[in-house]
Every structure is written in structure tokens, then in C-alpha cells.
Chains A and B, each alone.
Chain A
Amino acid sequence: MADTRFLIAEFIKQGLISEDKVSDALSVTKLTPDGKAWLSFLDRFLLVVGAVALVSALTFFIAYNWAEMAKWAKFALVEFFIILSILAYWDLGVRQLSAKIALLVASLLLGVLLALYGQTYQTGADPWQLFFNWALLILPWVLLAQFAVLWIVFLFLLNLSLFIYVGTFGGLFGFSFSTELNLLWLLFALNGLALLVWEYMSLSRGWLQVTWATRLLAFVSGASITVLVVGCIDSPVNNSIFSMLIWLNYLVVLYIYYLKKKPDLFMLAGGCLSASIVILTFVSQYIEAGSSLVFALFIIALGGVSSMWLKKLQQEMQS
């Protein structure tokens, strides 16, 4: 719709659509909703706002009474809503979006239940275990639902448990160069692998062809490896060359796949950003502190080159 709005505005601005026909043009292109669209909108708007008001009312009510509620009442309340969500999943038809959202709600409430359990019984478990066990427990639902959002929630929980684990123990299986380096490598490995598997599986599964999810995974893995390389340039350690090689390989794979196989300008723009950051970090090692003008010129040059390349690619992709 964003393209249509832009194009119609251009046609009107250039006088290609006469003033008396603008209203009809907006109708035909559905930029102005008709009566049926309005009815559908009002239906959904009132449903969503009404439902949000009711859910908020319930949340506020529970929050008001939480301190006075007995242990069993708190558990019963959360478990009741988990069961209700699962029943809704069955009732609404398992392939329907509303059913998948119900299962998502059940998955989130399971986390609330685990937190409540940990808070009530003070088991002494490490915080990372909460998120890791949460991810494990919802895995059957994640596999069943065939819902990209739920897979992202699952991966988010794994990332979070990794983050907390490394923060607590410094690394996996006793290896520890430095906490920050270990975390970045592990995040890069987890999200990079997830992206690889996702793109492979999406070739034969339509429900996985969700661009925002792959972009999110690419962002996290790309950000991790970029920060690793920047850190290694700034304070060189033994594995600097290794980081650089992995980063270069990552960019090459990104370029080949998202330019030749499955064109995606977002991924390529991300690659440009990563390359620019690394180059600027490298340059900053060799120019004097305070040479802000030189730095500005480098940024202008890199920005200009990225801009021209991306615009050229966009035109090629659209033709």
C-alpha cells in the first residue's frame, strides 16, 4: 500500500489524473475504503479494543488483589488461563491464525507459571534455567503450531538463557577467554545457525517464508560478528584474524544468497552497515583523535558509495 500511496500521489502531482477523477482513482485503488471495508474495520477495531479493555481490566484486578491472594489461588488462576488458551487453540481450528495466537498466549503464560513456581518455592535454581526450561517445555507446542512468531519466541528464550548463563559462568563448558567475547561468539553461532536452518526449511514450508523473522535473525547474528570484529580491531587479541575471516565469509555468503538467490535489499543494507562500521573502526586506529573532519569525510564517502549501490540494486530488483 505504501508504493500505491506514493505512486498515486506522483500521478496526481504530475497532472496525469484530473482533479475531478481523483476521488474515483482513490476508490478504484482502494486507497479510500468503501463501506464494506469500513464495516470490517469497525468490527475488528471494536473487537480488539473491547478485548484489550477486558484483558486490561482483568490484569488490573489481579494486580490489585495479588498480595492478598493465597498461593493455590495464584497457581489456579495462571493454570486456568493456560488450559483456556489450549482449549481455544483446539476450538478455533488449529490452522487458523486466532488458534495459533491462543497457543502463543499459552506459551507465554507457561513462563509466568514457571516464574511463579520459582518465586513461591525458592528452588535455588539459576535464572538462566528458568528461560532454558521454558524454551524446552514449549518446544512441542512450537513444533505443532507451525507459527513463525512462536519460533522467534523460542529462539528469544534460548538467546536470553545463553546471555544469562554466560554472564554468570563466563562461558560454555568451562572455556572462557572473556565473558563478552564468549557471549558474542555464542550469539553469532546460535542466530547464524538458526538463520541458515530457517532459510533452508523455508524452501519447502510456506509458513516459514516470513521476511521479518529472517531479518531479525540476520540482524542479531550480523550485529554480534560486527561487534566482535570491531572489538578485535580496537584491542587486538589472539583470535583477531579468525574473527575477521568469519566476518568476511559471513558477508560473502550474505551477498551471494541475498543478491543472487533470494534478493533482499534489507540484508544487503545490513551488510553495508556492517562493512562501514568495521572500515571506520579500522580508519580510527590510524587518524589522530580530534581529526573529526577526516572522519566525517570517510563517513560521507562510505555513505555515498552505499547509497549509490543500494539504489542501483533497488532499481534492478524492481525492473
Chain B
Amino acid sequence: MNKTAAQLWTLLKGENLVQGETPEIAHADSPWYVKLLLGIAGWWAAAFGLSFLMLVFTLFMKDAMAVLILGSLLIGGAFLILRQSGQTFLEHLALAISLAGQVLVILVIFNAFNAFSAARFENEVYWLLAGLFQVILALAIPNFVHRVFCTWNAAIFFAVALVLFDVPYMFSSVVMLLMAWLWLSEYAYPKHIQKIRAMAYGLTLALVSIESFVLFVSKGAASSWGTNVDAESIMRPWMGEVLLGCVAFYVVWFLLRQNKQSMKQPLVICSLFATLLLVVASFEATGLTVGMMIVLLGFAGSNRVLIGIGVVSLLFYVSAYYYLLERTLLDKSLTLLAVGILLLGVRWMMLRFVPKGEVNAR
């Protein structure tokens, strides 16, 4: 048994939260670099193996049913490997096989397995079906990385479907609400902790992707495409930001209540005011609300990976703000100056009016 488990058990036992001897933990979590090494090997092996399979099955690739059966067999095979094996290497091999199977099934959904046509990808119903397919896989296949990947895909597919339904910009707030709920309920369902974490990571990555897309469409390099989207819809980017802001306020309020903070305390007022500042700034510099929420949820769960994703996304959105053409650099400079001064002002007020001894400990 490893030392960390023993130390943790002793700590919990000292607080009368557990009883008995230190349990054996069957599968120690491998460090990220070992997973990466084995992931690279698994994916390479799958790529070479699949190229062999594609050569062998070329004759069958023109028939939808054959492609669907092949895709399903590949996914089924991956499911069996993942259910049985605890080996990281086989896990990644199975992931790559599943990916190939998913690509085949999605090609059948879009009816694009024997001839590529852009028009087929403009049908919102196909995107919805593809999204539902990914949701089923995310729930069914017992593997962390697979669930992250499928959840990420599902969210992206649903977002595209909504854009094609002329409801753009709204989905990021739905994704953020779901993401926040999952992270805040991480331990609420003991048998499903890993499933919840995987789906939460998938939604986090999807949220960053969708918000980046909104950034480029509404204000960046793809703004001409965005103009076409706006012409066919009554939705506007600021509406999406308003909904994101509402979700942000809800999360901050929830965390404050979880920490038993009275709504009249200076800390609460400072927190809500800082949230308001960043939400307002996000109308100009798209993505700040999303980055802030990810960092906040990461800290709430002592999740350094999540904090890292939040910090990187915040840096990305601030950098992207530099390149956006909607405003001059002078206007952006003044906006950031105002935000910086106000945030530091809020910090000063918080440190001035919140004596550390009066902050409620859990």
C-alpha cells in the first residue's frame, strides 16, 4: 500500500470519520506522463492497425449497413477491452479503436460515408443525432478518457445544432450551468464519482471551445460568418453573455452559501461586486466569465488541473482581446485600466473591511 493512503487514513481515523485498518487501493493512479507515453503508443498502434483494417475492408465501405456494422463492431470491441483491462496501454488502444468506430457511425448518420458533401453537414437533425450518439457512449463506455472525449463532442455537436436552428450564443450558458452542477456535486453520488468527473472535464473543455468559437465568430477572424449567423437569428452575443453572467452569479452565491456566509458580510459584497465587474468586462473581452468560473470551481474542489485550464483559458482570452478588430487598442487599454483599478480597489476594500478572524471556518 502506498504511504499517501496510509497517512490519509490515519488523518481520517483521527477525526472519527473512518474505522478499521487502512484499505488496499487496487489501482494506483499513474502519473500524467506515463499515461501520455502509453497513450501515444496506443494511438500509434491503433492507427497502423486500422490502416490495415481499412485496406482489407475497402470493398465494404460503399454500403451504409456494412459501414454501420463495422463501426459498431469496433465500438463494441473497444467496450469489451475497456471493461476487462486495467492496463493503460490497452486502454489507449481501445480508445483509438472506438474513435475509428465512432467516425464510421457518424459518417453514416451524416450519410457521408461514400461521398463528401458540405450540404449534409448543414442539417441540424444530423448534428442532434450525432450529439445523442455521443451522450450514449459517454454514459455507457466505462473509461475516463473516453467519457471526457464523448462529452466534449456531444456538447460541440449540440452547440452546432442550435446554431443551425438559428439559436446561437445561448448554449455556452447551458454548458456552464451543467459543468458547474457536476463539479459542485462531485462527491454527491459515491458510485459515480469518476463518471461525474469525466463528464465535468468534457463539459469544461467544450465550454472553452464553444466560447473561443463565439469569440472568433462575433468579434474575430470569422466575423463575416458571424454576420451571416446574426442575420438569420434574433440572438446576439451579448444575450449569451447575460446568461453566462447569471450562471456566474448563481455559482458564486452557491459557494458563499456553502461556506455559510451571511449575505450582509463585506466579503460577500466584495465577491459579488468582483463577479459583476468581470461579467461586465466579459461583454468587451469575451471569455472572462468562463475563465473566472473555471478557476473558481477548480479552487472549490482543490483541483489543480481545473485551475490550470481556467488560467490558460483566461490568458488566451486576454491575448485574443488584443487582436480583435472591433475596438482600437486605446479603447481596449482604457477598458482594462478601469477593470484593473476596480478589481484592485475591491481587493483593498476586502482586506480593509474583512478581518480574517471573522471569516467563518467550515
Chain B nearest CB: distance from A190 CB in Å? 23
Considering the chains assembled together, what is the distance between the CA atoms of A14 and B25 in angstroms? 10
Residues of B within 8 A of A117 (CB): none
The 9 A-B pairs of least Cβ separation, nearest first, read A53-B340, A303-B41, A50-B343, A54-B340, A64-B329, A46-B347, A57-B336, A35-B359, A60-B333
Q: If the complex has contacts A35-B360, A292-B48, A292-B49, are A9 and B300 also in contact, measured as CB distance less than 8 A? A: no
Chain A residue, CB-CB nearest to B86 = A311
Interface residues on A, range: 35 or more
Residues of A within 8 A of B318 (CB): 52, 56
Residues of A within 8 A of B193 (CB): 9, 12-13
Q: Of the 9-residue stretches A19-27, A196-204, A236-244, which lies at the interface with chain B?
A: A19-27
B residues 290-335 near A (Cβ < 8 Å) are 292, 295, 299-305, 314, 318, 321-322, 328-330, 332-335
Q: Is the CB of A64 within 8 A of B344?
A: no
Interface membership of A71, Cβ < 8 A? no
Interface membership of B59, Cβ < 8 A? no
Interface membership of B231, Cβ < 8 A? no
Interface membership of B154, Cβ < 8 A? no
Considering the chains assembled together, what is the distance between the CA atoms of A60 and B328 in angstroms? 9
Interface membership of A156, Cβ < 8 A? no
Q: Which of A14, A26, A293 contacts B187 (CB 8 A)?
A: A26
Given A46-B344, A307-B87, 9 further pairs, Cβ under 8 A: A14-B23, A25-B12, A29-B12, A35-B360, A53-B337, A53-B339, A265-B34, A272-B37, A300-B89
- Some 26 contacts from A to B, beta carbons below 8 A apart, are A3-B4, A7-B8, A9-B197, A17-B18, A21-B17, A25-B18, A28-B17, A29-B11, A32-B300, A32-B301, A32-B362, A39-B267, A42-B347, A46-B346, A50-B344, A50-B347, A52-B318, A56-B322, A58-B333, A64-B328, A269-B33, A292-B52, A303-B38, A307-B87, A314-B34, A318-B4
Q: Which of B2, B9, B40, B48 contacts A295 (CB 8 A)?
A: B48
Summed over the interface, the residue pairs from A and B with CB atoms below 8 Å come to a total of: 234
Considering the chains assembled together, what is the distance between the CA atoms of A57 and B344 in angstroms? 14
Interface membership of A61, Cβ < 8 A? yes
Chain A nearest CB: distance from B300 CB in Å? 7
B residues 241-297 near A (Cβ < 8 Å) are 259, 261, 267, 270-271, 274, 278, 292, 295
Considering the chains assembled together, what is the distance between the CA atoms of A49 and B1 in angstroms? 42
Considering the chains assembled together, what is the distance between the CA atoms of A64 and B350 in angstroms? 34
Chain B residue, CB-CB nearest to A293 = B52
Chain B residue, CB-CB nearest to A267 = B33
Chain B nearest CB: distance from A126 CB in Å? 30
Considering the chains assembled together, what is the distance between the CA atoms of A41 and B334 in angstroms? 27
Q: Is the CB of A2 within 8 A of B330?
A: no
A-contact 0/1 string along B9-31, CB 8 Å cutoff: 10110010110000101001111
Considering the chains assembled together, what is the distance between the CA atoms of A13 and B295 in angstroms? 26
Interface membership of B341, Cβ < 8 A? yes
Residues of A within 8 A of B300 (CB): 32-33
Q: Is the CB of B89 within 8 A of A17?
A: no
Chain B nearest CB: distance from A131 CB in Å? 24
Chain B nearest CB: distance from A134 CB in Å? 24
Chain A nearest CB: distance from B352 CB in Å? 12
Chain B nearest CB: distance from A245 CB in Å? 25
Residues of A within 8 A of B9 (CB): 11
Considering the chains assembled together, what is the distance between the CA atoms of A253 and B205 in angstroms? 40
Q: Is the CB of B360 within 8 A of A47?
A: no
Q: Is the CB of B302 within 8 A of A5?
A: yes
Q: Is the CB of B12 within 8 A of A61?
A: no
Q: Is the CB of B48 within 8 A of A296?
A: yes
Interface membership of A91, Cβ < 8 A? no
Q: Is the CB of A49 within 8 A of B343?
A: yes
Considering the chains assembled together, what is the distance between the CA atoms of A41 and B304 in angstroms? 13
Residues of B within 8 A of A50 (CB): 339-341, 343-344, 347
Q: Is the CB of A45 within 8 A of B333?
A: no
Residues of A within 8 A of B44 (CB): 299
Q: If the complex has contacts A9-B187, A63-B329, are A293 and B259 also in contact, measured as CB distance less than 8 A? A: no
Residues of A within 8 A of B28 (CB): 314-315, 318
Residues of A within 8 A of B292 (CB): 49
Q: Is the CB of A299 within 8 A of B48?
A: yes
Residues of A within 8 A of B336 (CB): 53-54, 56-57, 60
Q: Is the CB of A310 within 8 A of B34?
A: yes
Q: Which of B49, B194, B334 contacts A9 (CB 8 A)?
A: B194
A3, A35, A51, A59: most-surrounded residue (chain B CB, <10 A): A35
B residues 72-126 near A (Cβ < 8 Å) are 87-90, 93
Chain A nearest CB: distance from B41 CB in Å? 3
Chain A nearest CB: distance from B246 CB in Å? 21
Interface membership of A43, Cβ < 8 A? yes
Q: Is the CB of B89 within 8 A of A60?
A: no
Q: Is the CB of B361 within 8 A of A35?
A: yes
Residues of A within 8 A of B40 (CB): 273
A25, A46, A52: most-surrounded residue (chain B CB, <10 A): A46
Considering the chains assembled together, what is the distance between the CA atoms of A31 and B31 in angstroms? 20
Interface membership of B42, Cβ < 8 A? yes
A residues 266-313 near B (Cβ < 8 Å) are 266, 269, 272-273, 276, 292-293, 295-296, 299-300, 302-304, 306-307, 310-311
Q: If the complex has contacts A2-B29, A34-B361, are A12 and B34 also in contact, measured as CB distance less than 8 A? A: no
Interface membership of A140, Cβ < 8 A? no
Considering the chains assembled together, what is the distance between the CA atoms of A26 and B22 in angstroms? 18
Interface membership of B239, Cβ < 8 A? no
Considering the chains assembled together, what is the distance between the CA atoms of A22 and B191 in angstroms? 13
Interface membership of A15, Cβ < 8 A? yes
Q: Is the CB of B350 within 8 A of A42?
A: yes
Considering the chains assembled together, what is the distance between the CA atoms of A130 and B96 in angstroms? 46
